[in-house]
Amino acid sequence: MGTVTIGVSIAVPEPHGSQLQQLRAGFGDAAAHGIPTHVTLLPPTEVEDGALPAIEAHLTEVAAAGRAFPMRLSGTGTFRPLSPVVFVQVAEGAEACTWLQKQVRDASGPVARELQFPYHPHVTVAHGIDEAAMDRAYEELADYEARWPCTGFALYEQGADGVWRKLREYAFGGAAVVPPQGSSAAVEQGSTAH
């Protein structure tokens, strides 16, 4: 048995997701196309591949206890100088995201883990690029706004190619959906507080 790197996140739906992903690539973030736009609930976490059934069962339980909530993105923020990240802020839905990520990482569950930084829900738009490009991302998206009803989250796996692919979606109320082959979505590559 080997290990796999997984993550759990809330996808930013279309057209917002592709728009922010294209902007991220335009700022010079080479990882942008392997990381579709999202709000992280569980950062990249290495697990035994045999643990996936227990993780999937746990996520089904978390989703069953969840309820749809409004999400609104508004304006920008940064974790600099602590971490080289510029993000779009979660202006509405942050409390629900915080509750969900605590449930996902619950000490009694199969993916219990501590975070390197306090949890702060956000959507990364620039990570690890030069300072001028980070400044440009921060300024150009300062007036950014998007809203949608969040109805669930998904489990992702990072491939050997560095691209994150969706394994399953979990709708609030308990339904789990396996996506068709070839679909992909992502969580923050190499980030811990995002």
The model's pLDDT over 6-32, given as tens digits with 9 standing for 90+, comes to 999 999 999 999 999 999 999 999 989
Residue 186 confidence class, pLDDT cut points 50, 70, 90 = very low
Following DSSP, what letter does each residue of 74-126 receive, concatenated? EEEEE-TTTS-EEEEEEEESHHHHHHHHHHHT-TTSTT----SS----EEEEE
Residue 73, classed as helix, strand or coil, is strand
The pTM is what?
A: 0.86
Mean of all residue pLDDT scores within the chain: 89
Looking at residue 117, what is its pLDDT? Answer: 86
Q: State the DSSP code for 43.
A: E
pLDDT higher than threshold 90 for residue 174: no
Question: Which helix (H) or strand (E) covers residue 67, if one does?
Answer: none
What DSSP state is assigned to residue 178? P
**What pLDDT does 61 receive?**
94
